[in-house]
């Protein structure tokens, strides 16, 4: 792809169809990022990208007319934004090498050209470029990782053949190359093809899979949500390399696949495998822990959740995040253990995980519904102190429950918080407050009624009528008349 081999790359570049025509024929073709997605590009880079995107018939002439000098870094940056224009990108690569770089491109620039051609499914020119790179001694595993990725994404193509043919380009078919191939196939959702690679690699090249190979396959099983294949891969892994405490990603994907499946046996099966791994000194990671907690919440199975929680948090030292704490709070609360959930808030603070409004509201709701009003009052006060406001349902429920139990101080505290922060439902709650206070705390009931009127919060005629009756009993009808005049004025 240099002027020492002047015809090879231009011929390949000329074979490139226009991206618009290619996408019209193939709706599955990817949408590539362009320079328009990068508003902070240097002016020179933007100019060069605009030239390539203009699909001018003579790219070299347009670049010459621009009269700009380019460096290796410029070439790399322009190529990164020119995937949608493969013909122009290749022409620019040749022009830059001939005019400015003495045919001395960086390996990264070469790899970008390979990737641009491959991602546009121009496999003939791609292989020609790989051949040119071999001649210059520039091939690397990164080059073949790009080749594998492009071939894997193209239906009907054979990235396995590319792996088998690597020695033709002076490259070893070693385990890292095998893993690169497996990764490309799994990312392209070709799990069956990925599984078929290992026996061929053993037979054709004597390449043996390692722990990373099986971790990649198990991640593919997780992405495909295929527990049946995951079990087969896990069994093959154990037979091939045994149990390895360092192989956390493989165990993590395997158990996550099991516990996330729709089967009624998914949760107990995952727990059985977890016990097997524990006996071997092995463990999955945080991803499984998160999925297992969610599965136990869905199954409303507290014992297993506590086993997993104690295993990972108490014994392995994992520090839970807010999502994990919220899951345990939801599980404990949904099973009626309202008093326990406050302990999780204390634990969160100890681990530097600070509850957000959602967490506080969940805790407050469970405490209220569990009639743990002393604890609910403490949580409400903590929420307000931390400027985490109760939601509408909790405002209404908290006010009603505190007033029903004649905890006037807390009821008034809730109302004052609602008014100060304009928290709904103000009209419903204000009328409830006045109606509940009128028998035991009539002066305060009148004060809050007047305050509602002044604030424009609708005081209902029935609430005002109830106040009238209470005031007339103590010969204070003039207070009602004062409130009535204000009420009519508003």
Q: Using CA atoms, how far apart are residues 303 and 291, in angstroms rounded to an integer? A: 16
| Preceding peptide of 226 cis, ω within 30° | no
Amino acid 29: pLDDT? 52
Lowest mean pLDDT among 46-60, 234-248, 368-382: 46-60
CA 45 to chain centre: 32
Q: Which of 38-42, 58-62, 121-125, 346-350 has the highest mean pLDDT?
A: 121-125
Per-chain mean pLDDT for the chain: 91
Question: Residue 9's pLDDT band (boundaries 50, 70, 90)?
Answer: very low
Q: Per-domain residue ranges for the chain?
A: 1-139
Specify the pTM.
Answer: 0.81
Over residues 211-241, the pLDDT tens digits come to: 999 999 999 999 999 999 999 999 999 999 9
Q: What percent of the chain is modeled with pLDDT above 90?
A: 82
Q: Which of 2-11, 24-33, 131-140, 342-351 has the highest mean pLDDT?
A: 131-140
């Amino acid at each position: 792809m240099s002027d020492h081999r002047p015809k090879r790359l231009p011929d390949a570049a000329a074979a490139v169809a226009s991206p618009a025509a290619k996408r019209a024929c193939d709706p599955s073709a990817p949408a590539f990022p362009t320079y328009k997605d990068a508003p902070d590009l240097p002016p020179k880079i933007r100019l060069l990208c605009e030239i390539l995107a203009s699909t001018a018939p003579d790219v070299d002439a347009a670049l010459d007319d621009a009269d700009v000098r380019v460096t290796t870094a410029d070439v790399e940056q322009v190529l990164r934004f020119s995937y949608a224009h493969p013909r122009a990108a290749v022409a620019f690569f040749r022009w830059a090498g001939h005019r400015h770089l003495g045919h001395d491109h960086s390996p990264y620039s070469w790899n970008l050209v390979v990737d641009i051609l491959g991602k546009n499914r121009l496999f003939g020119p791609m292989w020609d470029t790989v051949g040119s790179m071999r001649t210059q001694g520039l091939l690397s595993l990164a080059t073949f990782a790009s080749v594998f990725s492009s071939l894997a994404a193209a239906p009907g193509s054979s990235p396995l053949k590319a792996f088998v043919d690597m020695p033709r380009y002076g490259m070893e078919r070693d385990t890292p190359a095998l893993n690169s191939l497996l990764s490309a196939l799994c990312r392209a959702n070709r799990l069956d093809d990925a599984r078929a690679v290992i026996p061929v690699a053993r037979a054709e090249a004597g390449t043996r899979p390692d722990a990373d190979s099986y971790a990649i396959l198990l991640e593919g099983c997780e992405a495909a949500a295929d527990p049946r294949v995951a079990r087969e891969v896990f069994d093959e892994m154990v037979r091939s390399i045994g149990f390895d405490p360092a192989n956390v990603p493989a165990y993590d994907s395997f158990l996550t696949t099991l516990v996330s499946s729709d089967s009624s046996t998914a949760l107990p099966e995952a727990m059985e495998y977890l016990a097997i791994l524990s006996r071997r000194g092995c463990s999955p990671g945080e991803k499984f822990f998160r999925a297992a907690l969610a599965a136990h919440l869905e199954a409303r199975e507290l014992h297993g959740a506590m086993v997993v929680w104690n295993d990972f948090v108490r014994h392995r030292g994992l520090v839970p995040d807010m999502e994990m704490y919220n899951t345990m709070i939801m599980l404990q609360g949904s099973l009626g253990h309202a008093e326990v959930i406050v302990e999780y808030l204390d634990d969160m603070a100890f681990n530097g995980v600070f509850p957000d409004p959602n967490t506080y509201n969940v805790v407050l709701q469970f405490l209220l519904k569990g009639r743990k009003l002393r604890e609910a009052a403490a949580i409400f006060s903590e929420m307000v102190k931390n400027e985490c406001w109760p939601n509408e349902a909790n405002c209404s429920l908290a006010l009603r429950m505190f007033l029903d139990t004649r905890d006037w101080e807390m009821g008034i505290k809730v109302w004052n918080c609602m008014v100060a922060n304009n928290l709904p439902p103000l009209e419903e709650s204000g009328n409830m407050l006045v109606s509940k206070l009128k028998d035991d705390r009539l002066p305060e009931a009148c004060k809050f009624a007047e305050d509602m009127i002044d604030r424009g919060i609708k005081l209902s005629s029935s609430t005002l009528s109830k106040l009238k009756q209470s005031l007339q009993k103590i010969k204070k009808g003039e207070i009602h008349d004062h409130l009535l005049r204000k009420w009519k004025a508003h």
